[in-house]
Amino acid sequence: MADIISQYGTTFLIMAALFGFFMAWGVGANDVANAMGTSVGAKAVTIKQAIFIAMIFEFAGAYLAGGEVTSTIRSGIIDIEKAGFTDSPELLVYGMLSSLLAAGTWLLIASHNGWPVSTTHSIIGAIVGFAVVGISVDAVVWSKVWAIVASWVVSPLCSGIIAFFIFRSVQKLVLDTEDPFTNAKKYVPFYIFLVGFMIAMVTLVKGLRHVGLDFSFAQSLLMAVGVGILAMLVGIFLLRRIKEVPADNESFHFGSVEKVFGVLMIFTACSMAFAHGSNDVANAIGPLAAVNGVVQSGGVFAEQSGLPLWILLLGGGGIVAGLAMWGYKVIATIGRNITELTPSRGFAAELAAATTVVVASGTGIPVSTTHTLVGAVLGVGLARGIGALNLNVVGRIFLSWVVTLPVGAGISIVFFFIFKAIFS
């Protein structure tokens, strides 16, 4: 049946590119806002700066560390041989197209109604759905799926625990001391080092193989330390401009201290965008990469071909477009609403979430950045750091998990059979 591919190949590719761009647009319009909103809410960066940071680091994250998750979505969830795709590769094309369309549709409905639905969960549900009903239960690599589903619970938990301890360390080293301002200036560069080191380490160890670079662990470690020190130097330079202003401390004694943490939050905002790019861009371009692989090879499955640059550019471009057209509004809304989150807390939450997500990206596990961040904020809350947190949201997130998987699957199945009827 490879003739279907040769007959409609270009059509499939154009459709996949369109749907992929649409998905990426959705990620940029909604999802990025959750990653960047914390920094805007804490007044560490302005909305314009947030968009600027997001554009650069989302793209860098996708390009440098996004390969593993992309390959999971593209070929890790479905067993190509058991699914019989070697005989009828067009089924994979239909499936990936319907997954993109289904996830996009569901996200549109969900965000219209304000449900906390994750892009990641939608696309995974959609892929599993078409594979089970359209092909067979055996076509799905269930061990992988269960690992992914488990990670959705584990990742918020992990980032919550990390955030708790980061914030406790801030309390011990800075806030609960004789001279918080001096201590903030002393320890914040170290946290900045940690941000740079963590991002660089995961990227070097796990990510760069896709770009064609492969370093030994020792080389990676050395370079990551270098990146950390570089970030720290930039941080120290920025910190020199922060002076203790008595007027800031009049009604609230920690006014100047929070300004110091504001500098740190610029760095964690970058790491957050990087982490988000490394994990969530894959949701849009993974299926596109799968379709592209089939079409380019004329229906023959090549083993793990590299990710073409144009696909990455399309994903990055879609995110930037979504961000510029709609996302900035959502960032503004979030920024206005979370004024309670001061930089000393916001950075702890962002660093914890970014670390968790980047590690997940390195291991090729698609997680929800937003849910991971929610877990991190709750971790800071557990350390008695936040005025009031709405636990209803946690319930709504759980509900969205339960609903998204079957609904994403259902819509995807419908599209799958529609495509099959049209083209075969």
Give the closest residue to 279 by CA, choosing from 319, 306, 219.
319
For position 179 contacting another protein by CB under 8 A, the verdict is no
Least Å from the CB of residue 201 to another protein: 27
The least CB distance from residue 371 to another protein, in Å, is 8
Question: Binding residue for another protein (CB under 8 A) from 252, 310, 399, 424?
Answer: 252
DSSP 40-83: HHTTSS-HHHHHHHHHHHHHHHHHHH-HHHHHIIIIISB-TTTT
Residue from 4, 17, 33, 135 that binds another protein (CB under 8 A)? 33
Whole-angstrom Cα distance, residue 46 to residue 36? 10
Binding of another protein by 195 (CB under 8 A): no
Q: Is 28 in the site for another protein (CB under 8 A)?
A: no
8 A C-beta contact, residue 410 and residue 129: yes
For 132-185, give the DSSP string.
Answer: IIII-GGGB-HHHHHHHHHHHHHHHHHHHHHHHHHHHHHIIIIITSS-HHHHHH
Picking from 333, 272, 355, 287, the residue whose alpha carbon sits closest to that of residue 122 is 287
Q: Are 31 and 107 in contact (CB under 8 A)?
A: no
Which residue's CB is nearer to another protein, number 171 or number 182? 171
Which of 243, 302, 392, 422 binds another protein (CB under 8 A)? It is 392
Host H or E run for residue 123 = helix 119-129
Q: Cα-flanking dihedrals φ and ψ of residue 85, to 5°?
A: -70, -20
Contact between 120 and 367 (Cβ < 8 Å): yes
Tell me the per-residue interface mask from 293 to 332 with another protein, x by CB under 8 A, - otherwise.
-------------------------------------x--
The C-alpha atoms of residue 287 and residue 31 are separated, in whole angstroms, by 19
Q: Confirm or reject binding of residue 145 to another protein (CB under 8 A).
A: no
Q: Which of 143, 246, 303, 387 binds another protein (CB under 8 A)?
A: 387
Instruction: Determine, following the binding rule CB under 8 A, whether residue 6 of this chain makes contact with another protein.
Output: no
Closest distance to another protein from the beta carbon of 385 (Å): 5
Minimum distance of another protein from residue 282's CB (angstroms): 20
* CB of 70 or CB of 155, closer to another protein: 155
Contacting residues for 27 by C-beta, under 8 A, at least 6 apart: 119, 280, 281, 283, 284, 318, 319, 322
Question: Under 8 Å CB-to-CB from 140, ≥6 apart: which residues?
Answer: 77, 78, 79, 128, 131, 132
Stretch that binds another protein, among 82-90, 167-175, 275-283, 415-423 (CB under 8 A): 167-175
Return the number of the residue (143 or 390) whose C-beta is nearest another protein. Answer: 390
**Residues 361-380 interacting with another protein (rule: CB under 8 A):** 370, 373-374, 377-378
Contacts of 220 (CB under 8 A, 6+ apart): 201, 204, 205
Q: Does 344 bind another protein (CB under 8 A)?
A: yes
Position among 37, 89, 287, 299 found at the interface with another protein (CB under 8 A): 37
Query: Looking only at residues 58 through 117 of this chain, which bind another protein when binding is defined by CB under 8 A?
Result: 113-116
Choose the stretch contacting another protein; rule: CB under 8 A; options: 80-88, 184-192, 392-400, 412-420: 392-400
Closest CB 268 distance from another protein, rounded Å? 15
122 forms part of the interface with another protein (CB under 8 A): no
Binding footprint of another protein on the chain (CB under 8 A): 30, 33-34, 37-38, 41, 113-116, 167, 171, 175-178, 251-254, 330, 333-334, 336-338, 340-342, 344, 370, 373-374, 377-378, 381, 383-393, 396-397
